[in-house]
Amino acid sequence: MKSFKALTIAGSDSGGGAGIQADLKTFQELDVFGMSAITAVTAQNTLGVHGVYPLTTEAVEEQIEAIGTDMGLDALKTGMLFNAEIIEAVAKKIKKFQWDKVVTDPVMIAKGGASLLQEEAVEALKEHLLPVTLILTPNIPEAEVLAGMEIKTFEDRKEAASRLHELGAKYVLIKGGHGDEEGVTDLLYDGKEYSSFKKSRIATKNTHGTGCTFSAALAAELAKGNAVKEAVEVAELFIHSAIEEDLMIGNGHGPTNHWAYKRKQRQGEHNE
């Protein structure tokens, strides 16, 4: 029996809803062995981020090196990388080990508004990480920062996706959760064609870690050998289920339900 392996390079969320905790839960639910390289430890809960304690660049490099020289991987995802030095170091390791299934979730701001990426790190992300990225998964505010433009219309999203593709990402998926349309439409661009993934909008404040969870599901499916579009389809179902089956944990932006997708599978609710 072949074991599929995925690595998350991201921050730790003490509340368990986002970061490496969300990623590892997602990998497990999708039958992929999860590994982690921690970039920073955060003290946070559903009410917000109360502290960020970055690891040294050397510590991040050593974690990645340990995995690359022994266990290997089938796909990886990045989350909160915190600063320019860590971003550059991660990109170098990706090149060294010739890892090509890289999902980049450009984590910039927490749900409570706390900045999770230093300002100078944005340029480093564009210069070093996007050229080694298979699929980039920004939300609309993140896409605005990276593409250097305001996004108001769906045509703006297409333009932003095109700009981000030109920066090196082979695929760009702009998530539509921050859009003002009735439902939620995610836009995927492969350099030639645009594809839309539409789902209903769920009225809930419990969406902490949605970006982490979505990108982790993508990485898990890529690790199993699925093509990008098929991986996106599974990730869309996974995150929609996770938001829909509310856990009602905490007093702020609560976490999503990572076991909802598999439970629905068992009960035959995914009839696509």
Order of strands across the sheet that contains 33-45: 48-54, 33-45, 5-13, 75-78, 102-104, 135-136, 171-174, 184-189, 194-199
What does residue 23 show for φ and ψ, rounded to 5 degrees? -65, -45
In whole angstroms, what is the distance from residue 240 CA to residue 200 CA? 9
Note the pLDDT of residue 103.
98
In whole angstroms, what is the distance from residue 215 CA to residue 139 CA? 11
Note the pLDDT of residue 14.
97
Note the pLDDT of residue 272.
47
Is the distance from CB of 76 to CB of 9 less than 8 angstroms?
A: yes
Q: What is the pLDDT along the chain (272 residues), one digit of tens a residue?
A: 789 999 999 999 999 999 999 999 999 999 999 999 999 999 999 999 999 999 999 999 999 999 999 999 999 999 999 899 999 999 999 999 999 999 999 987 665 556 667 677 889 999 999 999 999 999 998 999 999 999 999 999 999 999 999 999 999 999 987 666 777 899 999 999 999 998 888 888 988 999 999 999 999 999 999 999 999 999 999 999 999 998 999 999 999 999 999 998 888 866 54
Which amino acids are annotated catalytic? 175, 207, 209-212
Q: How far is CA 198 from CA 2, 14, 46, 94, in A?
A: 33, 32, 27, 32
Closest among 66, 86, 77, 106 to 7, alpha carbons compared: 77
Reading the block at residue 7, the tokens are 């690595």
In whole angstroms, what is the distance from residue 203 CA to residue 136 CA? 26
Note the pLDDT of residue 267.
86
pTM of the predicted structure, to 2 decimals: 0.94
